[in-house]
Amino acid sequence: MTNLKTTKSEQTRNRLLTAASRIFAEKGFQEATIAEICEQAKANIASVNYHFRDKETLYLESWRFAFNQELDLYPPDGGLMDDASAEQRLAGRIKSLVRRMGDENSYSFAIIHKEMAQPTRLLADILEKEINPQRLQMFALLKECLGQAASERQIQYCHASIMGQCFQLLRLKHMQGARPFRSHPSDLSDIKAFAEHVVQFSLAGIQAIRSQTLN
Amino acid sequence: MTNLKTTKSEQTRNRLLTAASRIFAEKGFQEATIAEICEQAKANIASVNYHFRDKETLYLESWRFAFNQELDLYPPDGGLMDDASAEQRLAGRIKSLVRRMGDENSYSFAIIHKEMAQPTRLLADILEKEINPQRLQMFALLKECLGQAASERQIQYCHASIMGQCFQLLRLKHMQGARPFRSHPSDLSDIKAFAEHVVQFSLAGIQAIRSQTLN
DNA sequence: TAAAAAATCAAATGCGCATTTGAATTTATG
DNA sequence: CATAAATTCAAATGCGCATTTGATTTTTTA
């Protein structure tokens, strides 16, 4: 019904990965329980052990699964051409990031968010492999936008400013309904508007730092 | 030795609060264990139950304890006069926030940070009481800086941009040493420089949005 | 289609940790 | 000083949850 050309066993495995990535994103590694994951996946409690050996491996594979599923939906470069200006390419990346974090069905960054607050170290290797390249590309773009005179520190600070704004969306989404951090639902749910805001806010910040550096 | 005019029992209670706020800040509610807290506090495992009834109450009281200890060290208004410009007052608040979050011995925001990633709801009431007023003051300042024509949504977005940058410091501090998010130690440890960066970056962002709104 | 391998299942095991207990010790009271 | 109350303590209890087990069912192989 759901999938063609997959065995029953593969289907169980995929249901586990789907349920696990959602629940790990929602609760983090520690607070997620195998029982709940299996229940949502309509699988037996022992199936995690059978298909993935243990919870830790399931966690790693769930992140990989979520990340790969999002790849085509959210191109890291924002789908822009190479001949666009550095500002345009940076804007594309920011918008892609914000939209991805705002997507209720994108779990890889929600899991990273939890991981940054409560590190398990279980994702260190795969994040190094999958995320660091994008990080370095962002650094290069920032260097272009800030001018070649920009210091390494300025680049890192601007990167922190941008990523901080992006992750703030996850934080607010998560706190929805919990005082005192709730926002009006309408403001939070308009992801596109927030993405435009972050772009405008950040480009202005970068320009201010660039013009100060030029002196 | 440590405190005058406090009974042995009060001293135990204070040692528990001190250890608990540090450990809750480091590990969050769920991953903190009573055993570790009591060990660090040189108190018996049953002392939490005796002095605070349970772990949940200890959590709440630890946040209150940490928050009150930081009050005089980090005035929310940044210690500025009322006659300073809105931009100056906003800058003061931002710097105070960043310095507080960067302070290794300030736990109240580190606990909030954990709480936002893994809400327990146990702090909802006290945060409403203690944090929301400061939040509203920040909104008022932003309204001044953005001009009276600014929409509620623009104010909320700018608030998110600023708070996101501040909390990013906590995130990075926490991930120190864990790939791929580590920064050069020197860049992170210079809290004052990062505070100045956030001020400059944010004021420029706000100005850009203000001038766009004026049209 | 029969035997072997793979996959699912309900129930058991074991461990970590919050909480409780009741005895021992210290501090306050009259 | 004697008695009561408050505080500390080591050990026990109990629960939630990851993991294991061994039996049962389903799928693959020849």
In strand D, the nucleotides that come within 7 Å of a protein beta carbon are: 6-12, 16-22, 26-28
Whether B186 sits with its Cβ under 7 A from any strand C atom: the answer reads: no
Q: Tens digit of pLDDT per residue, chain A (215 long)? A: 333 457 878 899 999 999 999 999 999 999 999 999 999 999 999 999 999 999 999 999 999 999 999 998 898 787 766 789 999 999 999 999 999 999 999 999 999 999 999 999 999 999 999 999 999 999 999 999 999 999 999 999 999 999 999 999 999 887 776 767 777 666 777 999 999 999 999 999 999 999 988 65
Top residue of A130, A165, A182, A194 to mutate, by most chain B CBs within 10 Å, is A165
A15: Cβ–Cβ under 8 A, 6 or more apart, which residues?
A41, A42, A43
Which of B124, B160, B197 lies nearest to residue A168, judging by beta carbons?
Answer: B160
Whether B10 sits with its Cβ under 7 A from any strand C atom: the answer reads: no
What is the maximum alpha-carbon separation in chain A?
66
**Could you tell me if the ipTM is greater than 0.90?**
yes
Q: Are B160 and A165 in contact (CB under 8 A)?
A: yes
Q: What is the pLDDT of residues B111-164, one digit of tens each?
A: 999 999 999 999 999 999 999 999 999 999 999 999 999 999 999 999 999 999
Which of A28, A131, A168 lies nearest to residue B167, judging by beta carbons?
Answer: A168
Handedness of CA A52, A53, A56, A60 (dihedral sign): negative
Tell me whether the CATH fold assigned to B8-63 matches the one assigned to B72-214.
no
Name the DSSP class of A17: H
Can you name the CATH fold of B72-214? Answer: Tetracycline Repressor; domain 2 (1.10.357)
Which of B117, B153, B200 lies nearest to residue A208, judging by beta carbons?
Answer: B200
The amino acid at B70: E
The label of the residue with tokens 């500025």 reads B80
Q: What is the pLDDT of residues B13-64, one digit of tens each?
A: 999 999 999 999 999 999 999 999 999 999 999 999 999 999 999 999 999 9
What Å value separates CA B196 and C1' C11? 61
Q: Do A28 and B118 touch (CB under 8 A)?
A: yes
- Give CATH for domain A8-59: 1.10.10.60
> Measured between alpha carbons, how far is B99 from B31 in angstroms, rounded to an integer?
26
> Measured between alpha carbons, how far is B161 from B181 in angstroms, rounded to an integer?
20
> Measured between alpha carbons, how far is B210 from B20 in angstroms, rounded to an integer?
44
Residues in chain B: 215
Nearest CA among B93, B175, B155, B153 for reference residue A164: B175
> Measured between alpha carbons, how far is A193 from A12 in angstroms, rounded to an integer?
39
Write the Ramachandran bin of B107: left for phi over 0, alpha for psi from -120 to 50, otherwise beta: alpha
Q: Quote the tokens at residue B34.
A: 């009573």
B74: Cβ–Cβ under 8 A, 6 or more apart, which residues?
B96, B99, B100, B103, B106
| Domain spans in chain B, listed from the N-terminal domain onward | 8-63, 72-214
Min Cα–Cα distance to chain B from A11, Å: 31
Residues 41-70 on chain A lying near strand D, CB distance under 7 A: 45-46, 48-49, 54-56
Contacts A–B by Cβ distance under 8 A: 174
In strand C, the nucleotides that come within 7 Å of a protein beta carbon are: 6-12, 16-22, 26-28
A56: Cβ–Cβ under 8 A, 6 or more apart, which residues?
A120, A122
Nearest CA among B86, B77, B84 for reference residue B207: B86
The amino acid at A24: F
> Measured between alpha carbons, how far is B174 from A112 in angstroms, rounded to an integer?
13
Nearest nt (C1') from A33 Cα: D17
Nearest nt (C1') from A42 Cα: C8
Highest mean pLDDT among B7-16, B144-153, B181-190: B144-153
Q: Are B171 and A117 in contact (CB under 8 A)?
A: yes
Specify the CATH architecture of the domain B8-63. Answer: Orthogonal Bundle (1.10)
